[in-house]
């Protein structure tokens, strides 16, 4: 199975119904994860087969396949990863469909975390990252339940494995690039995850991250984030941001779709594009963790993170002569 970046999580499939249909595959699989359970042979074709079923709109069939298979082969980390991803899809669908359905979004996230913990146990590279996505999506529910101010203090669960340092570093660089008091739009799930983890080490958090895709599709998220920006929640995302731009900088991350941005005069500033300059964010840009991970050369997530820096360099050529010179003989394509 090809490892898949977080952007794949935003795909939406029809949500299944029924609490037992959601939990039984996990219970079946976990019942076999005990060291005393009989261990069946790993079939490398099962995870790709489940992925194909999901792409065809048969997610429930894919989940059932994985649940029964993992009950006999609980050491297949890629199968656990797929199962966790499918539950993340279900949690996203719960938001998309008006926060209705059984189980609810938080329970789906619990299912996802349980499956992804097994993927992490079996050293599947993407398990750690998707496990982090689960915590970011928990924080999203906190925003919707209690508002932005409460969510600023959300933290990963204590047993959550640490996010790779180069992803946290990316988030810190994006936050540092946005002027103090700014609104930072993120374009991909990778950026959103990195910014959330990067914000855990930024106190106080003086930048407001916004996910424009959720603002457009999730009415509860829009209500909460509109309140945080002080604008009318009835306004679409472009008009809401245009209203905010009168009082605070708007920052576009490297992969933000300009279709979500208001028609303003954008200029490059570090790794983002800004509507107007403001006080420079605290801290300096660094790619130390990314360089170290690049030299190890094992994770496909390194390439995805490098792609964000490359997109930033396409918007701001000054990065090629400063920060990105640390890449040495392998600079991002935009700097070659």
Q: Is the pLDDT of residue 17 over 80?
A: no
> Is residue 312 domain-resident?
yes
pLDDT value at residue 103: 80
How far is residue 330 from each of residues 190, 305, 316, measured CA to CA in Å?
Answer: 22, 14, 18
The tokens for 303 are: 């390439």
Burial class of 44 by CB neighbour count within 10 A (0 to 12, 13 to 18, 19+): exposed
Together in a domain, 24 and 105? yes
Burial class of 281 by CB neighbour count within 10 A (0 to 12, 13 to 18, 19+): buried
The tokens for 19 are: 């609490």
Q: Is the pLDDT of residue 331 over 80?
A: no
Together in a domain, 31 and 128? yes
pLDDT band at 151 (very low <50, low <70, confident <90, very high): confident
Q: What is the pLDDT of residues 26-75, one digit of tens each?
A: 555 555 555 545 567 899 999 999 999 999 999 999 999 999 999 999 99
Together in a domain, 129 and 183? no
pLDDT value at residue 2: 34
pLDDT value at residue 107: 92
Together in a domain, 75 and 184? no
Q: Is the pLDDT of residue 20 over 70?
A: no
Together in a domain, 173 and 105? no
> Is residue 157 domain-resident?
no
Together in a domain, 135 and 262? no
Q: Is the pLDDT of residue 130 over 70?
A: yes
Domains of the chain: total: 2
Question: Which comes out higher in pLDDT, residue 183 or 153?
Answer: 183
Specify the pTM.
0.87
Together in a domain, 89 and 188? no
- Nearest CA among 139, 82, 142 for reference residue 112: 82
> Is residue 268 domain-resident?
yes
Together in a domain, 128 and 196? no
Question: Which comes out higher in pLDDT, residue 117 or 9?
Answer: 117
> Is residue 230 domain-resident?
yes
User: Domain range spanning residue 246?
Assistant: 163-336
Together in a domain, 178 and 326? yes
pLDDT value at residue 11: 38
Together in a domain, 140 and 170? no
Distance CA 274, CA 312 (A): 12
Average pLDDT over every residue of 136-149: 93
> Is residue 64 domain-resident?
yes
Report the percentage of the chain scoring pLDDT > 70.
84
For the chain, what percentages of helix, strand and coil (3-state, to nearest 5) are there?
55, 5, 40
Q: What is the pLDDT of residues 258-306, one digit of tens each?
A: 888 999 999 999 999 999 776 665 578 889 999 899 888 778 999 999 9
Distance CA 137, CA 149 (A): 16
> Is residue 1 domain-resident?
no
Average pLDDT over every residue of 139-166: 90
Mean pLDDT of the chain: 86
Domain end, chosen from 116, 147, 178, is at 147
Together in a domain, 190 and 280? yes
Burial class of 280 by CB neighbour count within 10 A (0 to 12, 13 to 18, 19+): middle
Together in a domain, 185 and 133? no
pLDDT value at residue 215: 95
* b/e burial code for range 295-332 (CB count within 10 A of at least 16 → b): eeeebebbebbbbbbbbbbbbbeebbeebbeebeeebb
């Amino acid at each position: 199975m090809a490892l898949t970046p977080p952007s794949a999580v935003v795909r939406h499939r029809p949500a299944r119904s029924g609490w037992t249909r959601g939990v039984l595959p996990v219970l079946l699989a976990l019942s076999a994860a005990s060291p005393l359970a009989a261990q069946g042979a790993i079939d490398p074709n099962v995870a790709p087969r489940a992925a194909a079923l999901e792409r065809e709109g048969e997610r429930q069939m894919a989940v059932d396949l994985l649940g029964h298979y993992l009950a006999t082969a609980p050491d297949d980390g890629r199968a656990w990863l797929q199962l966790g991803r499918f539950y993340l899809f279900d949690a996203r669908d719960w938001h998309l469909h008006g926060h209705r359905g059984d189980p609810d979004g938080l329970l789906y996230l619990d299912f996802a975390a349980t499956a992804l913990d097994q993927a992490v146990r079996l050293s599947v590279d993407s398990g750690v990252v998707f496990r982090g996505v689960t915590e970011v999506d928990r924080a999203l529910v906190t925003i919707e339940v209690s508002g932005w101010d409460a969510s600023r203090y959300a933290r990963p669960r204590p047993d959550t494995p640490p996010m790779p340092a180069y992803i946290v570093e990316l988030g810190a660089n994006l936050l540092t690039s946005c002027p103090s008091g700014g609104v930072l739009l993120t374009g991909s799930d990778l950026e959103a995850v990195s910014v959330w983890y990067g914000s855990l080490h930024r106190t106080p958090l003086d930048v407001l991250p916004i996910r424009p895709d959720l603002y457009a599709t999730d009415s509860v998220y829009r209500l909460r984030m509109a309140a945080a920006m002080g604008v009318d929640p009835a306004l679409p995302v472009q008009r809401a941001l245009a209203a905010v731009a009168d009082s605070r900088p708007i920052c576009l991350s490297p992969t933000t779709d300009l279709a979500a941005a208001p028609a303003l005069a954008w200029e490059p500033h570090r790794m983002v594009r800004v509507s107007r300059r403001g006080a420079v964010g605290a801290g300096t840009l660094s790619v130390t963790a990314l360089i170290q991970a690049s030299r190890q050369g094992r994770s496909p997530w390194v390439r995805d993170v490098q792609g964000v820096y490359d997109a930033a360099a396409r918007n701001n050529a000054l990065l090629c002569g400063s920060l990105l010179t640390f890449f040495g003989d392998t600079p991002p394509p935009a700097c070659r």
